[in-house]
A = this chain, B = another copy of it.
Amino acid sequence: MLSFQVEATSGRARAGRMETAHGPVETPVFMPVGTAGAVKAVTPRDLQDVGATIILANTYHLMLRPGDALVAERGGLHGFTPWHGPFLTDSGGYQVFSLAALRTLDEDGVAFRSHLDGSPYRLTPERSMEIQRNLGANIVMAFDECPPSDAPREAVAEATARTTRWAARSRDAFDRLPARHGHAQALFGIVQGGVHLDLRERSAAELTALDLPGYAIGGLSVGESKQNMLRVLDHVPALLPEARPRYLMGVGTPEDLVEGVARGVDMFDCVMPTRNARNGQLFTRAGRLSIRNAVHRDDPRPPDPECGCYTCRTVSRAYLRHLHLAGEMGAAIYATIHNLAHYVDTMRAMRQSILLGRFEEFRQEMRSRAAGEGES
C-alpha cells in the first residue's frame, strides 16, 4: 500500500509526501514520461540530477514491445529498466483510444490492432491489471474510457458510467492478482466526466466509494478550452478525499501545473517538456525559447541564466542552436535535461512556497512573469 501524508496547505494547495517501496515522493510532483520504460534522450543519472523522483511508463507501449511477460521475467520495470525509483503505469486505455487502429469497444473491453505491426490485441480491466502486475509499478491506474473532447454529452455520460464499472472490475482483478515483484502496488481510480460538472460529481462519488489509495482526474487536456479545464479543476479536487493523493493526468504547461496545484492537485505527468525539447522548444523562467530562431545564432548565454541544470551550466544558446540545426542528438539531450529540470524546479518552488504558507504569492509572481514574457 501507498502511504501519503499532507504536510502543509496554503489555500487549497497541498504539500505532501508519498512513501513507496522504491523511495519517497514529495508532492506536488511532476512525473516525466518514460513511455517505453525510458524517458526519451536521457539516462537515470540525468533524471536523478534534475531531481525527478517518479517516472510514468505506458502500459500500451510496453504490452506491445517488449511485452509485459518479458518485463515481468526480468523483475518488472524496476528490474528491467535502469530506473530504480518509483514508477507509475497508466492503464493503457487512453493510448488505445488515441493511438490504436481499428478499435472496437464493448462492455467487456477494447479490441484493437497494434500501431507497430497491425497485430490484434485486447485490453480489458482484468488484462490491464494483469499487465500492470507484470510491470510492477508502484502506482497502477484503473482501466478507464477517455472520450474525446468533442464527444456529445450522452457519449461522455456513457463513458463515465463505464469507467465506474471498469474501475470496480479493475479493483477486483487487482486484488485477486498477487504482486509479482516483492513489493506492494497501489491502484488509483480515474474520475471522468469531460467538462460536465454533474458527470464529474457522479464519477467522483462512485469512484471514491471504492475507497482507493489515490484518485486521478482524467479526460482533461484532451482538446477542451483552458477555461473549461480550469472550471473542472475548480470543482473536482474538492470531491476527492483529503487524505489521498490527487493526480491530474497529461497536464500540462508550467502555468497549468501552478493552476492545478492551486486547486489541490498533487501529481502531474505530461510529454510536453520532453517532446518539446526534441523539437527545440525550451521552457525558461523568462518564457519559452525556440532554439531554431536566428536570434540565438551567436548568443553566449545559457538557455536560462537563472537555471542550475547541467545544460545551463554547460552550453550556450548559440551552441544548442547549432546542434539542433545540425540534427545532432545532443540538441535533444541538452534540451530534455533542461526542460525536465525546469519542470521539477517549478514543482519544488511551489512545494517550498506551500510549506511557507506563501503559495498565492508564488502564483502571482509566476503570473506576472508570464505576463511579461515573450516567445523567443
- CB within 8 Å of B: which residues of A? 36-38, 40-45, 61, 65-66, 70, 73-74, 80-82, 297-298, 300, 310, 314-316, 318-319, 322-323, 325-326, 328-330, 332-334
Contacts and interface: CB of A to CB of B under 8 A. Distances in A.
Contacts of A334: 43
Which A-B residue pairs are the 4 nearest by beta carbons?
A66-B322, A82-B314, A41-B329, A38-B330
Contacts of A323: 36, 38
B38 A328 contact: yes
A40 B329 contact: yes
B43 A318 contact: no
A129 to B, nearest CB: 23
B316 A74 contact: yes
A65 B322 contact: yes
Contact of A310 (B45, B80, B314): B45
Contacts of A80: 316, 318-319, 322
Tell me which of A38, A61, A297, A314 has the highest count of chain B C-beta atoms within 10 A of its own C-beta.
A38
B70 A297 contact: yes
A301 to B, nearest CB: 11
Contacts of A74: 298, 300, 316, 318-319
11 contacts: A36-B328, A42-B330, A43-B310, A73-B298, A74-B300, A74-B316, A80-B318, A80-B319, A80-B322, A82-B319, A329-B333
Oligomer: number of copies: 2
Given A38-B328, A41-B330, A43-B310, 15 more contacts: A36-B322, A37-B322, A38-B330, A43-B333, A43-B334, A44-B314, A65-B325, A70-B318, A74-B298, A80-B318, A80-B319, A81-B319, A82-B315, A329-B329, A329-B333
A206 B343 CA distance: 61
A114 to B, nearest CB: 13
A42 B332 CA distance: 11
A37 B319 contact: yes
A75 B272 CA distance: 34
Nearest to A79: B300
Contacts of A81: 319
A328 to B, nearest CB: 5
A326 B57 CA distance: 14
A326 B82 CA distance: 16
Contacts of A298: 70, 73-74
Given A66-B322, A73-B298, A314 B43 contact: yes
Contacts of A73: 298
Contacts of A44: 314
Contacts of A325: 65-66
A40 B330 CA distance: 7
A335 to B, nearest CB: 12
Contacts of A43: 310, 314, 330, 333-334
Contacts of A66: 297, 318, 322, 325
Contacts of A314: 43-45, 82
A251 B244 CA distance: 60
A36 B310 CA distance: 21
A5 B43 CA distance: 39
Contacts of A330: 38, 40-43
